[in-house]
């Protein structure tokens, strides 16, 4: 998969996380469209997982984008690492939502390894 395709998929995955979080929220529609001055209702189990998965994605997304754009700008070969990152992050969301903690932790570790490998490959 090309580096550009991985970047495009990463943005689509960001959108999937956003919609998943919004779709699993326990907040009524009037609260969601308000200025949210009142405290939010307690999230459902799945809603809480979706929100945490999205926050986790937002922690690694900027690093991936920066590294991926660096590969695009320098025409440096990225190898399999951007593809491995995006596949791991795609698997991460349903693993988190279903409570598969060992799978979730494994694919999180794989995605972190992919980011480190991208950084090392770019530096060489």
Q: Quick check: 60 and 111 in contact, CB under 8 A?
A: yes
Q: List Cα–Cα distances, 105 to 70, 72, 93, 102, in angstroms.
A: 27, 29, 11, 5
Q: Quick check: 95 and 47 in contact, CB under 8 A?
A: no
Percent of the chain with pLDDT over 90: 79
Q: What is the CA radius of gyration of the chain?
A: 16
- Number of domains making up the chain: 1
Q: Can you give the pLDDT at residue 39?
A: 78
Q: Which domain holds residue 49?
A: 3-123
Residue 27 carries which DSSP code? S
Q: Quick check: 13 and 89 in contact, CB under 8 A?
A: yes
Q: What is the CATH number of the domain that holds 62?
A: 1.20.120.550
Q: Find the mean pLDDT for residues 9-15.
A: 98
pLDDT in tens, 50-89: 999 999 999 999 999 999 999 999 999 999 999 999 999 9
pLDDT band at 9; cut points 50, 70, 90: very high
pLDDT band at 41; cut points 50, 70, 90: confident
* d(C-alpha 14, C-alpha 62), whole Å: 11
pTM, rounded to two decimals: 0.89
């Amino acid at each position: 998969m090309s580096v550009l395709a991985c970047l495009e998929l990463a943005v689509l995955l960001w959108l999937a996380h956003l919609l998943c979080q919004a779709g699993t929220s326990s907040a009524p529609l009037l609260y969601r469209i308000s200025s949210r001055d009142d405290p939010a209702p307690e999230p459902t189990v799945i809603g809480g997982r979706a929100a945490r998965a999205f926050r986790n994605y937002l922690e690694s997304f900027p690093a991936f984008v920066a590294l991926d754009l660096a590969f695009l700008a320098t025409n440096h070969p990225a190898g399999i690492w951007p593809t491995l990152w995006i596949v791991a992050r795609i698997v991460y969301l349903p693993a988190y939502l279903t409570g598969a903690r060992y799978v979730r932790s494994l694919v999180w570790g794989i995605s972190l390894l992919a980011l480190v490998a991208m950084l090392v490959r770019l530096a060489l």
